[in-house]
Structure 1
Amino acid sequence: MYPNANKENISASDVQANFVRLTRSRAKTALGGGVSIPPTKPSFKQQKKRTVLKDVSNNTSADNIYSELLKGGNIKANRKCLKESKKAANEDPSIAMEILVYMHTEKSKLAEDLSKIRMAEAQVAPVSNSKDEEITDQQDEDGSGVMDFLQVEDIDFNNNDPQCCSLYAADIYDNIHVAELQQRPLANYMELVQRDIDPDMRKILIDWLVEVSEDYKLVPDTLYLTVNLIDRFLSNSYIERQRLQLLGVTCMLISSKYEELCAPRLEEFCFITANTYTRAEVLSMEIQVLNFVHFKLSVPTTKTFLRRFVKAAQASYEVPLMELEFLANYLAELTLVEYTFLRFLPSLVAASAVFLARWTLNQTDHPWNPTLQHYTRYGVAELKSTVLALEDLQLNTSSCTLIATREKYNQAKFNSVAKLISPKRVTSLFSR
């Protein structure tokens, strides 16, 4: 659906004129109508006012397993042998069990071999035979010699925390990198689909949701998933500005149910809108959103990648640097309110946040190294445009007055990383 030529445009200056200090006690009107500011839940913290945006299968058969193993050269058998094996398995169940065990063992070996090959191919440019021999000489039984040669730290080695899933981490992130290419919101849905809202209204809504997530102490994943659901829904469904806030609180309700151990009740989300929307309206919108996304809520966000990339960045320090983690998270959250960042993959945004965070904290060394390049799968040149755009957000070159994220990371519990700015522009790294 293409926008009408007479589409009403509301500029940033018009919006800001109505919001003297957005999402704070002096907000007056929100995208077309004046609304009083509802208090947040008094039980969490002292009562304060906020803006109300009124207008605003892995089911693999035996045939498939055998085919994969035959292609990998791990089973030296032809089709005739395969048929005979199946026939014998039908006659004797014990033979079937032996075949399954053998297939599992061979497939595990194949997976290990492929993992080592991917690791080498990701880092080694075309090298001479002498280099290949050098790698082979250094390689031991578990293949760690390749990583030593490439100066890549193994961040999954000997990790005793079962929640890190060290044994499967590489395969998990292989799948996540593929999944981020699917179910992405359109980078230009405001121009193609929406006629009654614009990027500034989206920015105001998400800035307000940042405050809501802070007041209710929601985990960061809830906020990221909320924004993802909003953008996916708006990419295909037209919505009036009067229902934009309803969409926002509904997506946060869904995300809370998915990510939180104890999600706020539906009535809480009605309350934070000063009961502008009823329980029935929120439930109706919840049905629309869930049906639209086909209940596919397990999507990789910037936060998904950021955890692993920060871990890779910390490998170069003797002691983990908490400021690095806080600053990378701050920079990543700044991108949530910016509609223009939808054109970048979540993994690219996460890698750029780590790059800029390391540069902000230390300008004496280059922020990128073989370990980060290996785990993020991005070279310095690929990060350039995203890093430069992210630095503009950090420096607030557009003089944006929406400050919820900045105030959040100005708190002592985050070491006030929002105040950190590099004395040297990151542009110097890309001009060499």
Structure 2
Amino acid sequence: MPFVRGKKPTATGGSRIPKLHAKATENQEEGSLQVKRSSAPPQGAPKKRTAFVDITNAGKLSFSLPGRKKETGSKVQKKTSSKGSSKNRANLKKTSSVRSEGPEEGKKQEEEERKEEEEEERAATPPVEELGVLEAPPRRELPPHLQRPQIPEQFDIDSEHQNDVSLTAEYAKEIFDYLKQREEKFPVCDYMAQQPSLNPGMRAILVDWLVEVQENFELNHETLYLAVKLTDLYLSACPVNREALQLIGSTAMLIASKFEERSPPCLDDFLYICDDAYKREELISMETSILQTLSFDINIPVSYRFLRRYAKCVGAGMDTLTLARFTCELSLLEMDLLPERGSALAAASLLLAMVTKDLGGWSPVLQYHSGYDVSQLAPLVRRLHAMLSSPPDDKLRAVRTKYAHKVFFEVAAIPVVAIETLESALLA
């Protein structure tokens, strides 16, 4: 009785096979059908077919590639038969020669035949010129602006960190050369003539307040330097009222925190430190104004980065580096030092700290990595020395109070070096 499609066959009344056994036999049949695709279907079942071509006929199909002529079956047969016949003849010759001759003569005969086959293969293969194999083109030299600088061995300060991928020691020299070039893109001059409502004292009070904000929020020193730089760049481009000065400083610190910090303070924190003098919308609007004025280019080189690099050149200790940091951070309050480049301020601060600590003058390795010699730094060093020697302002105590702490080696209490000692070091 044939199976009706879509219905299961019903067992006859006289069948005594349990249902479990019937299911097992059905599973066995299905397994055999999956393993052996070419097995015949059950009697009466509909004939199976694939969607495109039966898989069992795949070997019988022939595909023609474009640009090639089809070879007839006779040609293919001739090729295979000719190859097979030549091999058979060679094998027959070998076996007959080995049987007729002795073992030594048979070996000689095999070697001669092998040599003949190698010579035939060499003759059949065309030379390299005919195959079209081209020689490798000559290696071109990179243009000068793409070539990596060759650092002399006595000036190499980064080779000891080659295995530390986080420091990128192989690119350190190029990175700082690039930062030094970018300094020319952010010049700042004395902009107080364009600000009728401001004066240098107001700006100094704002910077002194930003130092306190950086210390209370425990922000990086790079954040403080970048915030002061953003403030000066914005004030040099836009006239503002004195009531908006603190709003500009706090917004600049917010932008710098987003750029430098791993976990920057939120906007409400900056509203709190301003004693809620400004609204949330005003701070967001000022942030937009600053970023648009600077064309969203806030990757500005700051002197603190150069200072750490130069201190590494001479292996300066933390006490010497902190003394140079104190001088460099105190210079942020001075309006007349705004036009100076950050790299030059860092080099002059380190030179003054080394002379104060009696660690020698400007070494050749510092001159190589900074690009400044003593004659270029001498005028700026004298101005920094005069800044340290002047009596402190009672209204601007944040920097001196900060560096009078034990954490900073109490460098603010170190006496200023005598001017005679400094002059002799600069003239050496």
Same fold, TM-score > 0.5, yes or no = yes
Counterpart of 2:292 in structure 1 is 291
Counterpart of 1:324 in structure 2 is 320
- Distance change (3 Å), C-alpha of 1:345 and 1:109: closer
Alignment of 1:232-311 (within 5 A): 232-311=233-312
Q: Is structure 2 residue 365 aligned with structure 1 residue 383?
A: no
Corresponding residue SS for 2:159:
coil
Aligned-pair CA distance for 1:202: 0.2
Alignment of 1:174-253 (within 5 A): 174-185=177-188, 187-191=189-193, 193-253=194-254
TM superposition score normalised by structure 2: 0.64
Q: Which of 112, 115, 125 is the matching residue for 2:149? A: 115
Point out the structure with max Rg over C-alpha. Answer: 2
Q: Which amino acid aligns with 1:200?
A: G
Q: Is structure 2 residue 205 aligned with structure 1 residue 170?
A: no
Q: Which amino acid aligns with 2:425?
A: L
Deviations 1:135-193 (A, max 9, x none): xxxxxxxx53xx4xxxxx321123143232211111112211110111222x12112x1
- Distance change (3 Å), C-alpha of 1:300 and 1:156: same
- 5+ long unaligned stretches in structure 2: 1-133
Aligned-pair CA distance for 1:338: 1.0
Corresponding residue SS for 1:158:
helix
Counterpart of 1:155 in structure 2 is 157
Q: Is structure 2 residue 397 aligned with structure 1 residue 403?
A: yes
| Distance in 2 of aligned mates of 1:398 and 1:109 | 50
Taking only aligned residues, the RMSD between alpha carbons, in angstroms, comes to: 2.4
| Distance in 2 of aligned mates of 1:311 and 1:237 | 38
| Distance in 1 of aligned mates of 2:405 and 2:166 | 29
- How many residues are paired up? 292
Counterpart of 2:28 in structure 1 is none
Alignment of 1:12-161 (within 5 A): 106-107=141-142, 115-116=149-150, 144=153, 147=154, 153-159=155-161, 160-161=163-164
Q: Which amino acid aligns with 1:334?
A: L
Corresponding residue SS for 2:158:
coil
Corresponding residue SS for 1:393:
helix
| Distance in 2 of aligned mates of 1:305 and 1:163 | 18
Q: Percent identity?
A: 34
Retained in 2: the 8 A contact 1:351–1:376? Answer: yes
TM superposition score normalised by structure 1: 0.63
Counterpart of 1:47 in structure 2 is none
Alignment of 1:333-344 (within 5 A): 333-344=329-340
Corresponding residue SS for 1:115:
coil
Deviations 1:240-274 (A, max 9, x none): 00110010001001111111111111111111111
| Distance in 1 of aligned mates of 2:232 and 2:282 | 20
Corresponding residue SS for 1:210:
helix
Counterpart of 1:427 in structure 2 is 423
Deviations 1:377-424 (A, max 9, x none): 111111112111111222234656411011111111111111112442
Q: Which runs of 4+ in 1 moved over 6 A?
A: none
* More displaced stretch, 394-403 vs 283-292: 394-403
- Distance change (3 Å), C-alpha of 1:273 and 1:359: same
* More displaced stretch, 290-299 vs 414-423: 414-423
- 5+ long unaligned stretches in structure 1: 1-94, 120-142, 148-152, 315-319
Retained in 1: the 8 A contact 2:355–2:425? Answer: no
| Distance in 1 of aligned mates of 2:218 and 2:390 | 26
Corresponding residue SS for 2:142:
helix
| Distance in 1 of aligned mates of 2:385 and 2:318 | 20
Corresponding residue SS for 1:343:
coil
| Distance in 1 of aligned mates of 2:321 and 2:360 | 18
Counterpart of 1:361 in structure 2 is 357
| Distance in 1 of aligned mates of 2:417 and 2:238 | 44
- Distance change (3 Å), C-alpha of 1:378 and 1:400: farther
| Distance in 2 of aligned mates of 1:398 and 1:419 | 12
Retained in 1: the 8 A contact 2:385–2:416? Answer: no
Corresponding residue SS for 2:170:
coil
- Distance change (3 Å), C-alpha of 1:272 and 1:110: closer
Deviations 1:79-120 (A, max 9, x none): xxxxxxxxxxxxxxxx9xx88x956xx4399855x623xx6x
Retained in 1: the 8 A contact 2:314–2:366? Answer: yes
Corresponding residue SS for 1:251:
helix
| Distance in 1 of aligned mates of 2:176 and 2:382 | 26
Counterpart of 1:352 in structure 2 is 348
| Distance in 2 of aligned mates of 1:171 and 1:256 | 26
Retained in 2: the 8 A contact 1:361–1:422? Answer: no
Q: Is structure 2 residue 420 aligned with structure 1 residue 417?
A: no
Q: Which amino acid aligns with 1:246?
A: L
Retained in 2: the 8 A contact 1:155–1:312? Answer: yes
| Distance in 2 of aligned mates of 1:334 and 1:157 | 34
| Distance in 2 of aligned mates of 1:344 and 1:110 | 27
Q: Which amino acid aligns with 2:169?
A: S
